């Protein structure tokens, strides 16, 4: 199914926003502890609740803390909703939007249908930089390691593009370069966390990709970076549309190729770096959503980017809710769920007979 006219695409975008609202409500309402809907509503609207009863270990993931509350009976409904589920949902919104837009921009820039922050090694670069900062430099806060995530994401983006052949890069060459770099970097990450017990304790949930340790401080820390990245991405829609027609045509249309490439790399670095620093590497969201959107709207990035910004958090939050419900009172980390969902999609894309460049 494809939305043909502008009115149909606008209606589809409105329906996507409504779907996102439903998923957001589900993320706040559902979790390890069953809370009646009226209590959830009172907590969100009234914002009241006792914080005197600890819900669980302050540094533990949300699923463990809420699960501990279920078993011990500590922590009231308002505390669980406001201090655990609401920050987790807001973080999922930001991270999903960041990954969806980053994937769409990467696919447009490289004209590679397999381009995605996880597949091309950008998440691995950010992860390796963050692990190094934690283990060797003693950086323990998001405000400290987010800059390392940006540096790692930027360096790997440049490396993959260079190894893939720069202007002569093909989808397969870029995917192979990204896969090789990802394998090497994750080998380094695993070696560091296994040799450093303290780093392993801090990284064991982060490295699989998780929203579980979300706090409002985390949301506020990454909000400026995601916001700036989203604005720049939307401004690049027209230049990237022109670039999709070929460099000569884009230049004839007045597109500044260098500025478009630099702006796209800045977007990818900001969005992937912030998302990875906040909750670890989450794969396949940036791959699946742009393909789904392209099937609905066609190749126009003026529609692909807004749709991706809305539907990517729908996927991420849905996977997070599914992980919480399947393993009550614990949870499956969202990075595991998205990998299980995305693996078959990736195999399908690779096996398609017509794997042309975008």
Residue 158 tokens, joined? 């440049």
How confident is residue 304, by pLDDT bands cut at 50, 70 and 90? very high
- For the chain, count helices (H), then strands (E): 16, 0
pLDDT tens per residue, range 118-159: 777 888 898 899 888 888 888 877 778 888 988 998 888 888
pLDDT for 55 equals 36
Nearest to 247 by CA among 239, 357, 299, 266: 239
pLDDT for position 255: 85
Q: How much is the pTM?
A: 0.84
DSSP letters of 111-140? T-TT--TTTTTHHHHHHHHHHHHHHHS---
Work out the angle between the directed axes of helices 37-46 and 6-29 (0-180°, nearest 10): 100
Instruction: Identify the sign of the CA torsion 74, 85, 139, 121.
Output: positive
Q: Considering the chain, what is the average pLDDT of its residues?
A: 81
Interatomic CA distance for residues 261 and 277, integer angstroms: 24
The domain locations on the chain are 91-351
**In the predicted structure, residue 81 carries a pLDDT above the cut 80:** yes
Evaluate if residue 231 carries a pLDDT over 90: yes
Average pLDDT over residues 33-50: 77
What tens digit of pLDDT does each residue of 91-125 get? 999 999 999 999 999 888 888 777 778 777 888 89
At the topology level, CATH places domain 91-351 in ABC transporter involved in vitamin B12 uptake, BtuC (1.10.3470)
pLDDT at 135: 84
Please say if the pLDDT value at position 348 is more than 70. yes
pLDDT score for 214: 82
Question: Which among 206-210, 233-237, 353-357 has the top mean pLDDT?
Answer: 233-237
- The token pair that represents 213 in the structure block: 């340790």
Does residue 89 carry a pLDDT above 50?
yes
Query: How do residues 259-293 score in pLDDT, each as one tens digit?
Result: 888 898 889 889 988 998 888 888 889 888 998 89
Statement: residue 208 has pLDDT above 90: no
Q: What is the pLDDT of residue 352?
A: 63
Of 75-89, 92-106, 235-249, 343-357, the range with the lowest mean pLDDT is 343-357
Instruction: Place 51 in a pLDDT band, splitting at 50, 70 and 90.
Output: very low
More confident residue, 347 or 314: 314
Q: Which residues, 6 or more positions from 55, have their beta carbon under 8 angstroms from its beta carbon? A: 65, 66, 68, 69, 74, 75, 79, 80, 83, 84
pLDDT of residue 69: 47
For the chain, percent of residues with pLDDT exceeding 90: 27
């Amino acid at each position: 199914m494809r939305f043909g006219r502008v009115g149909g695409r606008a209606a589809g975008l409105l329906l996507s926003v409504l779907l996102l609202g439903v998923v957001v409500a589900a993320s706040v309402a559902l979790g390890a502890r069953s809370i009646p809907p009226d209590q959830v509503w009172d907590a969100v609207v009234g914002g009241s609740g006792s914080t005197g009863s600890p819900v669980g270990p302050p540094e533990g993931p949300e699923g463990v803390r809420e699960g501990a509350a279920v078993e011990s009976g500590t922590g009231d409904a308002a505390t669980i909703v406001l201090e655990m589920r609401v920050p987790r949902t807001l973080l999922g919104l930001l991270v999903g939007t960041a990954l969806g837009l980053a994937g769409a921009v990467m696919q447009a820039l490289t004209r590679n249908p397999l381009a995605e922050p996880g597949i091309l090694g950008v998440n691995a670069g950010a992860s390796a930089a963050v692990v190094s900062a934690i283990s060797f430099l003693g950086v323990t806060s998001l405000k400290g390691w987010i800059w390392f995530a940006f540096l790692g994401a930027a360096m790997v983006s440049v490396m993959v593009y260079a190894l893939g052949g720069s202007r002569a890069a093909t989808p397969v060459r870029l995917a192979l370069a990204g896969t090789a770099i990802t394998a090497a970097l994750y080998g380094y990450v695993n070696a560091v966390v296994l040799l450093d017990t303290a780093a392993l304790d801090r990284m064991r949930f982060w490295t699989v990709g998780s929203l579980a340790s979300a706090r409002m401080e985390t949301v506020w820390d990454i909000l400026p970076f995601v916001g700036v990245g989203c604005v720049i991405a939307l401004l690049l829609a027209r230049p990237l549309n022109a670039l999709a027609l070929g460099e000569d045509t884009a230049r004839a249309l007045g597109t500044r190729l260098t500025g478009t490439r630099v702006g796209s790399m800045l977007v990818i670095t900001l969005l992937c770096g912030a998302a990875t620093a906040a909750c670890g590497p989450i794969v396949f969201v940036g791959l699946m959503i742009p393909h789904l959107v392209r099937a609905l709207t066609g190749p126009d990035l003026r529609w692909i980017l807004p749709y991706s910004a809305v539907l990517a958090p729908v996927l991420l939050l849905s996977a997070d809710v599914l992980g919480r419900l399947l393993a009550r009172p614990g949870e499956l980390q969202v990075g595991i769920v998205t990998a299980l969902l995305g693996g078959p999609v990736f195999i399908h894309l690779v096996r398609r007979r017509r794997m042309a460049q975008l």
